[in-house]
Amino acid sequence: MRFNAKDLALLAKRPSCCFDKEGKLKICRVVGDEKLIEPRERWCRLKGNLLFLMKNKSSEASEVVILERCWVVEFKSKTDVSIILKFQSGEPDLYIEAASKPDCEAWAVALGEANSEGLRNKIQQLRRLIMEIKEERASEEAHQFLPSSQVDSLGEPQFTSIQRIANEPKLEFSLACKGLVAATRDRKLNTFIQVSVVHPAEHILTRYSSTEIVEGTRDPLFLTGVTFPPEYPIYEETKIKLTVYDVKDKSQDTVRTSVLPDHKEPRADVGRSFLGCATFRVGDLVKSKEQQLTLTLRTSDGGKTVGTIEVNLVKMGEFEDGEMDHITTDAQDQKFLCFLPLKSCSCGFLSATCAHNTENLERMTDRRAKEECALVRECTAPEGLSGKDNLPSLNAVLKNPICKLYRFPTSDNKWMRIREQMAETTLSFHVPKELINLHIKEDMRRNQELKDLGELAPHWDNMRKSVIAHCDQMLSMYQDTLAELGKHTGSSFKSSCSKGEKTLEFIPINLHLQRMHVHSPRLKDALYDVITVGAPAAHFQGFKNGGLRKLLSKFEAERRNTGYQCIYYSPENTAKAKEVLSNINHLQPLISSHADLLLNSASQHSPDSLKNSLKMLSEKTELFVHAFKDQLVRSALLALYTARPGCVLKKPAVPRSSAEESDDLKHQDHSSQIKRQDSIPHHSEYDEEEWDRVWANVGKSLNCVIAMVDRLLEKDNSSKTKEGESDPSAADCKVLHAGGDWYEQLYPLVITLKDCMGEVVTRAKQSMAFVLLQELACGLPQCLMLTLRRDIVFSQALAGLVCGFIIKLHTSLHDQGFLQQLHTVGLLVQYEGLLSTYSEEAGMLEDMAVGISDLQKVMFKVIEAKSEDFLPIITGRREHYVIEVQLPAKMFELLPQEIKEGKLLRMYPVLFNVGINEQQTLAERFGDTTLQENINQENLELLKEYYNLFTEKMPPDCLPHFQEQNDLKGLLENLHQNIQAKRRKNVEIMWLAATICRKLNGVRFTCCKSAKDRTSMSVTLEQCSILRDEHQLHKDFFIRALDCMRRQTQGALNESDDPETGCLTDNKPTSRHFYPVALLLVSSHLLVVWLILSLALLLAKYQ
């Protein structure tokens, strides 16, 4: 290269402000990995693409390096402060060493930008920017001619909204290219389209989405469309830019280029190259007669034409013709690729895990991977239900929807359209906050009941003080957690990177609703829903000692050997004590109010009202009396008596079983006295029959009230017959006098009933509180910690269940068969677990199994909403919750009379787990899978129980999917055989359980550790299977459809969009690519082979 030495010398001596960068560096030449000389310190000045090397700042330049056709290699070590400048010409590399790591990174950026290739990229970027500015100016000039009706009082433009159906996407269109021009004549293009949006008010270009890659054709037809959700701010004036790229080297798609770390556009020679772009207004597409636009693709300078692009407006209710034969005949020529290649790990097995495990990428992947999930719960699309009727109540629980659109060919050469919608749910935080609030009230009530036990002996009193102190600490923790959740703002779901945060431990991980709407040309439209959520588990507390299943079993065994400190009550007895206390708190105010109504009816001398009040009082009192028939109350009263001061015991009080009590009543001999001494201590001064008398007094008092009411009504009837023809005025006076007599005669009897009931309540509350005191005292502090862990797991599981129930109810309001099944049998809820039984995930599985089992005690109730707040209401206590789901009046009227009258709806949750990752391989080869086998076997029995109940109570033709009972019975038998077979990674269990759930109109859940990788892999595979089996997906497009659904959804190549922070991080790997289960099974077996061979080599070496 020719240059003027004098001009270069003058340029090197110019002031510092004239240079792009300058400073001290150690520099030498390198050939291969060997330095020709030791690095020498030089004063370096960078101007454009010229690097001047000087001995010191004031000396002349000793060497000039021209940055032409070179690139920077930056070392990734945290301590390394050197970089290598490599040249394509073959001359020796330039070794550059800086004083510090920040200085080294700054020089790497500066040298990379100074490279001539970087300058050319800058020029291309400026050209594109100029074109966009020209388009914006043209838009502004056209806007000056808008009619005055479109300008508001402030002079700001009013944009034209797109008229669409409520709760439907605003805009959807498909894309195809024709006649694309390649750089060389023989090259086959591998193309994809990047979609960007220019908002008319902001004039900012925003990357929105992209299609899949179509390989090997110049006329690509893309299966992935573009859809804008209802809340997206898009108008007729909005511009959409379509940029077509040619992927040159697919293996370089995720290469990080250190030369241009700040550029949003990657280098043209890495991964892809720009072919052309086109822009159109949304209004032009919407108002076009054929609802189709054919645009010309031009190069960045706007001069050369490189092909055309067709934009077709999509409406789910219409079908598109044409192109079907073309895409079917060319099926073997066009290949559809995903953006991210499968990475190979050093262990010898394939992994879909990203290499860069940074925090931003982890947070980005949570939702990005959720978008890849399939939708596998089927329901009939409602025909008569308006979207406007559904909208208010659904918007109360769902938010931030994200849509995807596909078109796939069917086996009869027609197009079917698939729309995926993913939404967060506000229930992720609403349900846990409601639960914690109920826990706080329940614990405060329990602490007060312990304080109301009265005076106790020193041993028991110290025990009570210790229990109350620990309970107060736990209560304070619940209150602090609730306060922190009340301060939460932002996203309505918890990402996986937050699963270890203490303040969010009650919140489910990645709880999302996924929905797929399938529109086939010859079949009825169908909706497929699934709830995807991370496995309910106490991640903050950890799994060092296992999960709830193991911890509860161990705790119960230790409680049996507590010695003299406290009395052992079985879990059934403690649960019964809580139930008795709950019945007391519920029935006592009801009985009191009905007694007051009875007296009010008597004062008004109203026979009909008196009969109704007496009926209600009798029913509630009978329930009240029945609640204390259990032997537990009698034994607890005796134990409490012995715990009073002055009662000296040789052995602690231990409750007797019902069998022992009955045996004592039959045999009053010496042997019974020995049995009594071994169970409950006998005190000579304690009258065991006193409780029977107190308890029986309630029934006697009620009988007296009933007899008095009957007598009064009988006298009233006889007096009316005798004096029917007497003077009316005299009859009125007698009525008033009789009304006074009724009240005076009933009042003392009602007061007696209330007094007897109050005495029963006082004794029963104290006895049951004493039982709870023993439960807490026997296991402090483990008992409270286990309660906390169980509350955490249950909270996560319940949030998902409530979400699934509400969505299922909304989508099935017109399905009378389902509604009948709901109130007659109950709702089947099937959880598909993908956790391994190795290491920490075994503890997660134990937590998950207990949490899902606890959902059996949850009941649902549908009520009519009285306000605009449609969020569910939670009432009850631990082990007995009622979820009240609110519906608008129009939707509530569609329900059967039984549900409208408040009938409680039962849930039947079942869990089937099959570990599918490499950790499960280790568990099967070298560990234990008994936990998984036991869980599957137990839940199979629950599923059979639901099936038997269903066949017993429901007619055979009540459900559209239940027309062939023999098929369903065969599926259950097949599932039973697969569970008994105990094969390794038997994924057939998952497919069978999912099929049975869909046929029984159940709700489907899919769970793994964080509801990302394995969840996406499993449900997308099942989704495509449903499209193939139920909607006639073309057999040649099964893998292509699977790839489309698993590919990156938002953004373009080398670009990661963080949905939680809204920031754009460049040069990061794209979202993960998940592969079918079969491929993972093969890879896991390769791992085992590698481990066995390694072990054999080591043994041979040391022998």
Can you tell me which residue has the tokens 């980005």? 364
pLDDT at 364 over 80: no
pLDDT at 1039 over 60: yes
Which pLDDT does position 581 carry in this prediction? 84
Amino acid at 552: L
Among 83-87, 95-99, 164-168, 479-483, the range of highest mean pLDDT: 479-483
Express each pLDDT in 772-810 by its tens digit: 888 888 878 888 999 999 999 999 999 999 999 999 999
**Percent of the chain's residues with pLDDT above 70:** 74
Tokens of 784: 């409270």
Indicate the helix (H) or strand (E) that contains 1031. Answer: helix 1013-1031
Which pLDDT does position 1059 carry in this prediction? 33
Least confident of 76-90, 145-159, 697-711, 1033-1047: 145-159
Q: Which positions ≥6 away from 208 have C-beta within 8 Å?
A: 195, 196, 197, 226, 1050
Nearest to 595 by CA among 445, 708, 694, 711: 708
pLDDT at 321 over 70: no
Among 203-217, 332-346, 1053-1067, the range of highest mean pLDDT: 203-217
Least confident of 81-90, 554-563, 747-756, 1000-1009: 554-563
Least confident of 637-646, 750-759, 864-873, 946-955: 637-646
Q: Burial letters for 608-626: b for 16+ Cβ neighbours within 10 Å, e otherwise?
A: eebeebbebbbebbeebbe
Which pLDDT does position 730 carry in this prediction? 44
Q: Answer yes or no: 104 catalytic.
A: no
pLDDT at 968 over 70: yes
Q: Residue 1019: pLDDT band by 50, 70, 90 thresholds?
A: confident
Q: Which positions ≥6 away from 114 have C-beta within 8 Å?
A: 20, 46, 48, 49, 51, 67
Distance CA(814)–CA(803), nearest Å, equals: 19
Q: Residue 668: pLDDT band by 50, 70, 90 thresholds?
A: very low
Q: Residue 863: pLDDT band by 50, 70, 90 thresholds?
A: very high
Look up the pTM and report it.
Answer: 0.71
Q: Residue 399: pLDDT band by 50, 70, 90 thresholds?
A: confident
Distance CA(206)–CA(64), nearest Å, equals: 42
Instruction: Characterize the bridge pairing of strands 205-210 and 190-198.
Output: antiparallel
| Mean pLDDT within 177-206 | 85
| Mean pLDDT within 266-277 | 66
Express each pLDDT in 488-543 by its tens digit: 887 888 888 888 899 999 999 999 998 888 988 777 888 899 999 999 999 999 99
Distance CA(998)–CA(994), nearest Å, equals: 6
Distance CA(499)–CA(506), nearest Å, equals: 10
Express each pLDDT in 420-441 by its tens digit: 888 889 999 999 999 999 999 9
Instruction: Characterize the bridge pairing of strands 512-519 and 873-877.
Output: unpaired
Least confident of 209-213, 328-332, 640-644, 914-918: 328-332
> What are the angstrom distances between the C-alpha of 655 and each of 446, 639, 643?
21, 8, 13
Distance CA(206)–CA(194), nearest Å, equals: 11
Can you tell me which residue has the tokens 């990428």? 361
Helix axes 728-777, 782-811, angle to 10 degrees: 130
Express each pLDDT in 670-715 by its tens digit: 333 323 333 334 444 556 677 778 878 888 888 898 888 888 888 8
Indicate the helix (H) or strand (E) that contains 110. Answer: helix 101-114
**Percent of the chain's residues with pLDDT above 90:** 28
Strand partners, 84: 73, 95
Express each pLDDT in 58-68 by its tens digit: 888 888 888 88
pLDDT at 1071 over 70: no
Which pLDDT does position 857 carry in this prediction? 92
Residue 163 buriedness (CB in 10 A; 0-12 / 13-18 / 19+): exposed
pLDDT at 1076 over 80: no
Can you tell me which residue has the tokens 């931003």? 360
Choose, from 177, 566, 1008, 1044, the residue flagged as catalytic. Answer: 1008
